């Protein structure tokens, strides 16, 4: 059986069990709304465009934040890989900061950038940057010494060696870094939106929760999960697989 | 002499700061156009020596002169083929072959040159393939084409066929012999295979280990193609084998005493 078919059957079964549970009142509608009410609130949200605006607003922040994270992450990662001093000092700071969930920066961010876009994007950037830095750094440091030796015997050195050999050789790590940066940034975005003002998926989720609209809460959670899975599967895993294959790293 | 190694020593310090002599006073002269093999058990420093000619490793003392110039760093006058093909996986076959030339010649000139050398290694049908689509033997042939394309004065080969299966290896032996006859490049070929060195080279330098020294310098005057002279090959093989036996025993003894120590 194809994985897609298996997946479809699995999710259908899950929804059926959920619906049956609601029908037989194993739990109350206010605690866990039925798939039908979730579907209806999603339908309402999409037909009056509120959810569409939310998606657009969320994606806008994500794209700005992720682009900045990848840009900063790549530059700092290269710096750490090239300079021992930077690695010993800044590298340790990066390692420490990486273990701080980016959402805890929000109070500070609100002081610096106010309640709006600025602080959310700041949190998104922080969410993606550190993992990108660490992957780029590892990638450049782990370039097969044989590539470097071979390139040197072919007259390449210095900047030429770095740009033509070391950077391309570490592309697989860049891709993995970008994929993880996206995952972290997406989580940071949702957390940030929950705690600030709208529009945005996170904001709508909190808004629905404040009004006791549990079916919309679940609806938004489903959107968050689906978007996350689609972007990961359709974009990042696909690129990663191609790159690993081309670079001969696929086992 | 075309390549001249004078009093080469290489000493490094292990983790207990104990000096270890890898190469001990190596002197070697190689005339232009010679196919020379450096043969020895693992750990005799033969690859280190080759790497010094390439300019990738520094000697502790002594100097190497190639074509009148002292070796201080790697350069395109010395092409190197490693045991692994070391092709860049993000470039296709042609791009790999052009890599050392890309700054000197035009795109079309490069394509022509790549095609010429790919033909020489019988891979002219694979110009746009990527390394991961080729077998190990094909990758190694691309790597040889890449070295030849920059027209080096000398081709340094570090156990280039060591990772290949027997059939592929003997096919590549024939190809390499033909390429050498065509181009008359000076080839310095490092190997631990006695039969490989006899099959290919004009001259065999047999190295002993701990420390790495030159044991003998053998001239191979078996006419080519050599497959037809099995007897002469066999005799020479035995001669070298006897010579190396004491060396290999030395390695085993040392390993055993090391095990006993730890």
Taking an 8 Å cut-off on Cβ atoms, the answer to whether B89 and A149 are in contact is: no
User: Of the candidates A146, A169, A246, which has its C-beta nearest B130's C-beta?
Assistant: A246
Q: What is the pLDDT of residues B231-248, one digit of tens each?
A: 888 888 888 888 888 777
Q: CA-nearest residue of chain B to A149?
A: B56
- Under DSSP, the state recorded for B166 is H
Query: Residue A157 contacts by C-beta under 8 Å, 6 or more apart in sequence?
Result: A151, B73, B74
- DSSP secondary structure letter of residue B158: E
Cβ atoms < 10 Å from Cβ of A212? 9
Instruction: Say yes or no to pLDDT of B110 above 90.
Output: no
Top-confidence residue, A58 or B106: A58
Yes or no, beta carbons of B89 and A248 under 8 Å apart: yes
Is A150's CB within 8 Å of B86's CB? yes
| A69: pLDDT strictly greater than 90 | yes
Contact yes or no for A149 and B100 at CB 8 A = no
- Which segments of chain B are extended strands (E)? 3-13, 19-30, 35-39, 61-66, 69-70, 78-81, 154-158, 186-191, 203-208, 213-219
Q: What pLDDT does B19 receive?
A: 86
pLDDT band at B261 (very low <50, low <70, confident <90, very high): low
CB A137 within 8 Å of CB A91? yes
Residue B242 has a pLDDT of: 85
Residue B16 burial (C-beta neighbours within 10 Å; 0-12, 13-18, 19+): exposed
**Strand, helix or coil for residue B129:** coil
Given pLDDT bands bounded at 50, 70 and 90, which one contains residue A165?
Answer: very high
What confidence tens digit (pLDDT) does each residue in A31-61 have? 889 999 999 999 999 999 999 999 999 999 9
Q: Is it the case that residue B5 has pLDDT exceeding 70?
A: yes
Closest Cβ opposite residue B56 in set A149, A165, A247: A149
Q: Which pLDDT band, with edges at 50, 70 and 90, does A14 fall under? A: very high
B136 touching A, CB under 8 A? no
Three-state SS sequence of chain A: CCHHHHHHHHHHHHHHHHHHHHHCCCCCCCCCCCHHHHHHHHHHHHHCCHHHHHHHHHHHHHHHHHHHHHHHHHHHHHHHHHCHHHHHHHHHHHHHHHCCCHHHHHHHHHHHHCCCHHHHHHHHHHHHHHHHHHHHHHHHHCCCHHHHHHHHHCCCCHHHHHHHHHHHHCHHHHHHHHHHHHHHHHHHHHHHHHCCCCCCHHHHHHHHHHCCCHHHHHHHHHHHHHHHHHHHHHHHHHHHHHHHHHCCCCC
Q: Cβ of B146 under 8 Å from any chain A Cβ?
A: yes
- pLDDT at residue A15, as a whole number: 93
Give the per-residue pLDDT at B136. Answer: 86
Close Cβ partners of A195 (under 8 Å, ≥ 6 residues apart): A103, A106, A202, A206
**Average pLDDT in the B6-18 region?**
87
What's the fold here for domain A48-242? MetI-like fold (1.10.3720)
The pLDDT score that the predictor gives to residue A155 is 87
Structure tokens at A57: 């607003």
Residue A185 pLDDT > 80? yes
Q: Which residue has the higher pLDDT, A163 or B230?
A: A163
Shortest Cα–Cα distance, B260 to chain A (Å): 34
| Max avg pLDDT among A163-177, B215-229, B247-261 | A163-177
Given a cut of 80, is residue B146 above it in pLDDT?
Answer: yes
pLDDT given for residue A8 in this prediction: 93
Interface size A-B, in CB pairs within 8 Å, comes to: 59
Distance CA B166, CA B163 (A): 10
Lookup: tokens for B216: 């003998």
pTM of the predicted model, to two decimals? 0.83
Question: Is residue B259's pLDDT more than 70?
Answer: no
Which tokens sit at B148?
């030849």
Q: Domain limits of chain A?
A: 48-242
Query: Rounded to whole angstroms, how far apart are CA atoms B183 and B162?
Result: 23
Higher pLDDT, B258 or A167: A167
Q: Residue A251: pLDDT above 70?
A: no
pLDDT at B260 over 80: no
Q: Are B211 and B254 spatial neighbours (Cβ–Cβ below 8 Å)?
A: no
Q: Which residues in chain A have Cβ-Cβ distances shorter than 8 Å to B99?
A: 151, 154, 156, 164
Q: Flag if A248 and B132 touch (Cβ within 8 Å).
A: yes
A243: tokens are 């790159």
> Which ipTM was obtained for this model?
0.86
CA–CA separation, A23 vs A34, rounded Å? Answer: 8
Q: Is the pLDDT of residue A179 over 90?
A: yes
pLDDT at position B262, please?
58
Q: Which residues pair with B100 in a beta bridge?
A: none
- Whole-number pLDDT of residue B187: 92
For residue range A109-128, list pLDDT tens digits in order: 989 998 888 999 999 999 99
Helix axes A171-194, A117-141, angle to 10 degrees: 160
């Amino acid at each position: 059986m194809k994985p897609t078919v298996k997946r479809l059957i699995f999710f259908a079964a899950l929804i059926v069990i959920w619906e049956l549970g609601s029908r037989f009142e194993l739990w109350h509608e206010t605690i866990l709304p039925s798939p039908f009410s979730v579907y209806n609130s999603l339908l309402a949200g999409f037909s009056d465009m509120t959810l569409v605006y939310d998606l657009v607003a969320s994606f806008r922040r994500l794209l700005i934040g992720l682009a900045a994270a990848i840009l900063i992450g790549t530059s700092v990662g290269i710096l750490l890989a090239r300079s021992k001093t930077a690695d010993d000092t800044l590298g340790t700071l990066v390692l420490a900061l990486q273990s701080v969930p980016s959402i805890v920066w929000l109070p500070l961010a609100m002081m610096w950038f106010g309640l709006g876009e600025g602080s959310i994007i700041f949190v998104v950037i922080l969410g993606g940057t550190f993992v990108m830095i660490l992957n780029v750094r590892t990638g450049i440091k782990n370039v097969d010494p044989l590539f470097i030796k071979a390139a040197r015997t072919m007259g390449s050195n210095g900047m030429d060696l770095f740009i033509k050999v070391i950077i391309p050789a570490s592309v697989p790590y860049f891709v993995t870094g970008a994929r993880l940066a996206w995952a972290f940034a997406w989580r940071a975005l949702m957390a940030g939106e929950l705690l600030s003002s709208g529009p945005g998926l996170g904001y709508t989720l909190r808004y629905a929760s404040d009004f006791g609209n549990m079916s919309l809460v679940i609806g938004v959670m489903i959107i968050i999960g689906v978007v996350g899975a689609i972007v990961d599967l359709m974009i990042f895993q696909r690129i990663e697989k191609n790159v690993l294959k081309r670079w001969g790293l696929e086992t | 002499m075309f390549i001249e190694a004078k009093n080469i020593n290489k000493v490094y310090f292990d983790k207990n700061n104990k000096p270890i002599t890898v190469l001990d006073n190596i002197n070697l002269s190689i005339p232009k156009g010679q196919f020379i093999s450096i043969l020895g058990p693992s750990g005799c420093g033969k690859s280190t020596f080759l790497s010094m000619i390439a300019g990738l490793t520094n000697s502790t003392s002594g100097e190497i002169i190639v074509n009148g110039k002292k070796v201080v760093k790697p350069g395109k006058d010395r092409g190197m083929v490693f045991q692994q093909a070391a092709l860049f996986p993000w470039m296709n076959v042609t791009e790999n072959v052009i890599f050392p030339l890309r700054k000197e010649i035009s795109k079309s000139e490069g394509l022509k040159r790549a095609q010429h050398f790919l033909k020489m290694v019988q891979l002219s049908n694979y110009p746009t393939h990527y390394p991961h689509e080729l077998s190990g033997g094909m990758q190694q042939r691309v790597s040889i084409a890449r070295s030849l394309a920059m027209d080096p004065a000398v081709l340094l080969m570090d156990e280039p066929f060591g990772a290949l299966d027997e059939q592929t290896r003997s096919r590549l032996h024939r190809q390499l012999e033909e390429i050498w006859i065509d181009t008359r490049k000076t080839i310095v070929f490092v190997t631990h295979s006695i039969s490989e060195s006899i099959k290919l080279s004009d001259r065999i330098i047999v190295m002993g280990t701990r420390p790495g020294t030159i044991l003998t310098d053998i001239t191979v005057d078996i006419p080519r193609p050599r497959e037809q002279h099995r007897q002469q090959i066999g005799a020479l093989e035995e001669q070298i084998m006897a010579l190396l036996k004491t060396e290999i025993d030395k390695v085993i003894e040392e390993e055993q005493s090391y095990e006993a120590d730890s």
